[in-house]
Chains A and B, each alone.
Chain A
Amino acid sequence: MSDPAPLLPDELVAALECLLFVSGEPVPLTELSRATGRDSETIACALHVLRSRLEERGSGLQLLHIAGGWQLSTRPEHAEAIGRLLTRDSHKLSRAALETLAIIAYRQPITAPEIEAVRGVSVSGVLRTLLDRRLIQEAGRKETVGRPVLYRTTPDFLHYFGLSDLSQLPPLGDETPAEPVPAEAVTDGRVPDGEACTGLQEDTTGQIG
């Protein structure tokens, strides 16, 4: 494709909305930049505008910074209606799976014996489940006796828990359960006012006009 004509600000916002609409997964800033022919800073600004506009007009959609990219999702207050239309076929993770996942998330890359040392139980079955659900993946082998396989979390892991990146995990051992993904925690430096676009906080709900 030849160089696209420069887009006016409103057009750029609309174009981004289109791109995010057709994309089935989080789109990194660089991809949005490539598709629109505008630099990343401009895109970041436009994304912020898009996010505000969705909120202002009481859209059923919201813009999320999730798993290292940008993606549109439905707003949580409509979950019930959607749930009646679509049935999820994935089950929630078991306690054992969450425990194992938490240990991997904080200590990655980590081997199965190291996880077992923490949990006190065998984890081979749980690892199989997590691999099948693509929440973890192999990350080479540890250069110790037996060269055990190392595991780390995937972008799907971030997406599953609604995180933009691993830095959003709460400090380990923090007794206070973290607020549902505090928006302020997303420090995407390129968004002008530093406002985050993660949409899992409940403060912004109920703004349907």
Chain B
Amino acid sequence: MPLIWHDTGTGVDIPVSAVYHYNAMDAPAPATPSRTATLTLASPLPLLKTETFEGPLDLLLHLIRINQVDISDIPIAEITAQYLACIAMMEALDLTIAGEYLVVAATLIEIKSRLLLPAPPAPDMETPEDPRAELVARLREYERYRSAVETLRAWEDLRRQLYFRGTFESVDDYILPVAPGQVGPEALCAALRSVLQKAGVDPAPVTTVIPRRRLNLRLKMVELLHRLRQAGTAGLLFDQLFQLPCPRYDIVLTFLALLELIRLGRARAEQDALDATIQVYPVSPQGASEVVP
């Protein structure tokens, strides 16, 4: 059982995961704004650690239980204050607070604020939706599995009272009866792993290196320019620029290189008519005339 503190100030029991004395904890309860809570112990106890919570929903359910409130009618203000107090305490104890706790904290605060706000002027709905509904549904769902956990735990204990003969010591001595379809890939994988382990072979993870081709626009531009100059005044057909078949990125790169050369004034593209073939010519660095290398 988690340790419970009785807060004499508010008369509220607060679960803690360790004994800790703290103060200056702002509980955002509207009844007592900016209240400073100081929790003291009825009797001095040594520092001890008790059961921790299995997540925010677990903590919430615990708060609901110790406050003996109905899960479908949660006093949000009070529960939120206590929930935040617990988180503050965990923080003070340097326990790492998982982000999930903060998500639920934010949810609680959101619900609280929505409860405080006046309901929007009646839309065409019969009854305004309870802002708590979604959280309550989640808590109920979670609670159902928690009761199943108790059963499993009990069975686990009982089952551990029973012992079975181990499997065959040496698989080499027997041909084990295996009906078709009885062994799945997981079982085969597990068997292989155990054999490898016995043989002292470490099943290293399969690794492979996928070489990445370096794309280089500059090199492509040099190559293209060279080809254009070789072609000379005749130039090259647009289609001839692409040495097909080649990977798609090669096509893209060639096209980019062409655009870049045109932008820099090192190449010129001409087209006689719409839909006619495009002819590409080299241009001298001066841009004055076509160069014949």
| Interface: A146 (CB within 8 A) | no
The answer, among B57, B156, B163, B177, for a CB contact under 8 Å with A92, is B156
Q: Is B144 within 8 A of A163, CB to CB?
A: no
Known pairs A76-B162, A103-B145, A172-B145; A134 contacts B190 (CB<8 A): yes
Q: Which of A65-83 contact B (CB under 8 A)?
A: 71-76, 79, 82
Query: Which of A64, A154, A177 has the most B CB atoms < 10 Å from its CB?
Result: A177
The answer, among B100, B145, B147, B179, for a CB contact under 8 Å with A177, is B147
The answer, among B56, B155, B184, for a CB contact under 8 Å with A200, is B155
| Interface: B55 (CB within 8 A) | yes
Q: Is B155 within 8 A of A163, CB to CB?
A: yes
Q: Kindly specify which of A8-16, A39-47, A51-59, A119-127 makes contact with the partner chain.
A: A119-127
Q: Is A73 within 8 A of B163, CB to CB?
A: yes
Q: Kindly specify which of B75-83, B164-172, B255-263 makes contact with the partner chain.
A: B164-172
Q: Is B153 within 8 A of A162, CB to CB?
A: no
Residue of B nearest to A205 (CB): B161
The answer, among B149, B155, B163, for a CB contact under 8 Å with A79, is B163
Interface size range of chain B in the complex: 35 or more
Residue of A nearest to B55 (CB): A121
Q: Residues of B contacting A181 with CB < 8 Å? A: 155, 158
Q: Residues of B contacting A172 with CB < 8 Å? A: 144-145, 148
Q: Residues of A contacting B160 with CB < 8 Å? A: 79, 88, 92
| Interface: B138 (CB within 8 A) | yes
Known pairs A71-B164, A120-B100, A170-B151; A200 contacts B159 (CB<8 A): yes
Query: Which of B55, B104, B143 has the most A CB atoms < 10 Å from its CB?
Result: B55
The answer, among A98, A162, A174, for a CB contact under 8 Å with B162, is A162
Name B's interface SS.
helix
Q: How far is the CA of A174 from the CA of B138 in the complex (A)?
A: 17
Q: Is A119 within 8 A of B161, CB to CB?
A: no
Q: Which of A92-115 contact B (CB under 8 A)?
A: 92-93, 95-96, 98-99, 101-103, 105-106
| Interface: B41 (CB within 8 A) | no
Q: Residues of A contacting B138 with CB < 8 Å? A: 117-118, 120
Q: Is A134 within 8 A of B186, CB to CB?
A: yes
Q: How far is the CA of A73 from the CA of B148 in the complex (A)?
A: 25
Given contacts A79-B162, A122-B98, 12 further A-B contacts (CB under 8 A): A64-B162, A73-B163, A79-B161, A98-B149, A99-B145, A102-B145, A119-B55, A120-B55, A174-B147, A177-B147, A181-B155, A200-B158
- CB<8 Å pairs between A and B, sample of 9: A30-B179, A64-B162, A75-B162, A95-B149, A96-B54, A99-B149, A134-B186, A138-B186, A178-B155
